[in-house]
Amino acid sequence: MLGILVLGALGAGAWWFFLRPGAPIAIGQEEHPVADFSFDLSKVNGTAPGGAVSGDGVDDAAEDIRETLDALYVAGYIDPSKWEGGTFPEVLEQFDEAAAERASAGLDQFTLGDQAEQVAFVEPVVGVLKIRVLFDAETDPVGAVATTRFVADGQLDRGGPMHVIHRGTYYLSPQGGSWRIGGYDVAGAVASGPRLTGPGAAQPEPGPSS
């Protein structure tokens, strides 16, 4: 009789610590792979004094800008190894000094925020990017405006779905070999529960057309 009780108690303890949803030491739950993510470049334009420009210079600048914005969203939403206890250092690295100061005061505007530790994984569903690059008379890129539309679904540690809907307009400048965000306008939501789909569902508005 006592043996049964002991085994029962051991089983209950083991379940509590290792197997229940949200257990501190999860055993038997597979680590969810981090999704690969890169924005789809839906539109790229170049502008210079005198009119539109195109070619490798525009494409190269757009690629570099995409790299910056990919890094922002991967570190903010997709890759748990970059959340670092809700401090998201790689997110702030994508901003210039003045914008980083402001962004750090509202980090949840670009990330899962201080509830990131409750999230098991996030998988991107939509990532669309439009870019317009400004060139000077010597055809060096000097600035850019980029709009993003990002939608992702995820799962909470305790079980149950969550989702991210994010729309952004970013003003970027080339600094030290990469592009940094100097200004932004973002809207959307991070929420638990399933993302509504179909007519009437809350979706980020498409970015402005150029």
Distances in whole angstroms, Cα of residue 114 to Cα of each of 15, 87, 110, 111: 28, 8, 12, 9
Provide the mask over 64-103, with x wherever binding to another protein is found by CB under 8 A and - wherever it is not: ----------------------------------xx--xx
205 binds another protein (CB under 8 A): no
Q: Count residues contacting another protein (CB under 8 A)?
A: 62
Instruction: Give the residue carrying structure tokens 């030491």.
Output: 25
**Under a CB-based contact definition with an 8 Å cutoff, are residues 145 and 132 in contact?**
yes
Pair of tokens at residue 23: 């257990």
Q: Which of 57, 80, 86, 113 binds another protein (CB under 8 A)?
A: 113
Q: Which of 17, 42, 63, 194 binds another protein (CB under 8 A)?
A: 17
54 binds another protein (CB under 8 A): no
Q: Which of 89, 106, 194, 206 binds another protein (CB under 8 A)?
A: 106
Cross-strand bridge partners of residue 141? 135
CA distance 128 to 183: 19
Residue 66 Cβ vs another protein, minimum distance, rounded to whole Å: 17
Cross-strand bridge partners of residue 156? 119
203 CB contacts (<8 Å, ≥6 apart)? 151, 165
Span interacting with another protein, options 33-41, 62-70, 85-93, 189-197, rule CB under 8 A: 189-197
Strand segments, DSSP code E, in 97-207 are 119-135, 141-156, 161-175, 178-192
Phi, psi of 110 (to 5 degrees): -130, 5
3 binds another protein (CB under 8 A): yes
Q: Which residues bind another protein (CB under 8 A)?
A: 2-3, 5-6, 9-10, 12-13, 16-17, 24, 45, 47-51, 98-99, 102-103, 106, 108-109, 113, 115, 118-119, 130, 132, 134-137, 140, 142-143, 145, 147, 156, 158, 162, 166, 169, 171, 173-174, 182-193, 208-210
